[in-house]
Amino acid sequence: MLTAADVAKHDSKESCWVIVAGFVYDVTEFLNNHPGGAASILRYAGRMKDATDEYNLFHAPTLILKELSKDKHLGPIDIQQVIGAQHSAHSVEHDVMPLSICQSLDDIRAAAEVKLSARARTYFASGAESMTSVRNNRLHWEAISFYPRILRNVSSLSMTCRVMGSPSSLPIFIAPAAAAKLGHPEGELCLARGAARMAIPQCVCTYSSFTNEEIVQCFENEPLRRGGALFFQLYVPKIKKEAEHLIKRAKSLNFQALVITVDSPVIGKREDDDRLRTSTEHRNEIESQPPGKYLPGEEAPTLRGVHCSTLEWSDIPWIRTLWGSKPIILKGIQSAEDAYEATKHDLDGIYLSNHGGRQLDFAPSSVQTLLEINAKYPQVLKMLDIYVDGGVSRGSDVVKALCLGAKAVGIGRGFMYALSAYGTDGVLRAIEFLSDEIQTTLRLLGVTDIAQLNPAYINTRRLANELGIGHVKAVI
């Protein structure tokens, strides 16, 4: 059995041992590949402080056993010597608005913000630098208005569609988002149950708190399942070849589509996240890098680089060979030019997204990119299925996107707040809100089938003028 003295010798990047659930692991080689950065691990390096609480906020209990090679499992430690981690849990106890009172995703978010820990609240809400991209994601939806038509029989509606090749009861899907356990102990499992029961797709993030196997099992074994589908979102790792394992694993688990994130060769500068992290390091007396250590451009390794920075269009055939014939979607398209370029490759769709405003500050919203595609390369709308996300909080936003040619809309933060406040019930109610709002909007527009939607039902002039893009108009 290892002792405190054994562990204390390994407290640096050169040799990093940590304690999780009373067991010691050597994570030295993993530090630079950790999506949350090395610092979040180093504050436990060589210390007699169990990192279990911190670990469980982000990961399934079995993940470290599966992903860390056996030679890095060093052995148990005398539990009497270990100090329990003093980090806040996934939530704090406050009075939360009863779910029955909530009437919208905004209500659910307000309830979640009361309940969430400071860490979770910061992580879910943070964006790049000045937060301009986050704000514009919402403002650009609000800048589009409707052209309703009257005296039409709207007694029956059809909202069903196919999303990334799979049937869906609504033109929405659960967008990929990491670390759902920050909000609720059952994290992504709440999303899987909601998707299965309400027959919509869930796109599972590479950095989910639970393993792919656990999420798939939860989805497939849901006793109240009425449909739905699971897609896998892929971050290509820093070492490109390591993506092969992730793709083959997702294929073997029968994920129905592969969604490749292409807007993250490095992680955006999220100042609220960074400020919280450095404050924690300061409290734990972890030394920060001294100012002026590197010349600009000489930082090593690649600044904020945890993903592959060499991924190119020419890699798509390699990915297609690994994945097979099921749909491949590129997530993170932010220009009409790249949307058009995608038509030249073996892809089934594109996903317009600025990563929830978390990557590039002043990045275009998905609405802006969709308007530009309509104006510059309208043929793309017929050649590829287009999906969007970012700033969506209402069913009316979904209808606006469909009018501009999108096939379906992803919602990320809305569902993260829903599971954080109310677990699976919150996810179910959030889907109900969106369904209600989509139905109401369609009927008030004089539309009975989402396939009837086109630019004639919306006024984009205000936004188009603001952005210097051609106004989109069609005849009903």
CB 161 within 8 A of CB 171: yes
* Catalytic residue status for 140: no
What are the strands, taking DSSP E only, across 207-353?
Answer: 229-234, 258-261, 328-333, 349-352
Short-list 325, 201, 335, CA closest to 262:
335
Distances (CA, A) of 24 to 3, 7, 8, 458: 10, 8, 11, 59
Distance CA 28, CA 14 (A): 7
Distances (CA, A) of 96 to 48, 235, 348, 426, 436: 36, 35, 42, 12, 24
Question: Within 10 A of 253 (CB to CB), how many other CB atoms are there?
Answer: 17
CB environment 144-182: b (16+ within 10 A), e (fewer): beeeeeeeeebeeeebebebbbbebbbbbbbbbbbbbbb
CB 254 within 8 A of CB 166: no
DSSP annotation of 404: T
What is the Cβ-side half-sphere exposure of residue 202, based on CA atoms within 13 angstroms? Answer: 33
Distance CA 335, CA 376 (A): 10
Distance CA 210, CA 118 (A): 22
Strand order in the sheet with 17-20: 17-20, 23-26, 73-76
Query: Which are the catalytic amino acids?
Result: 355
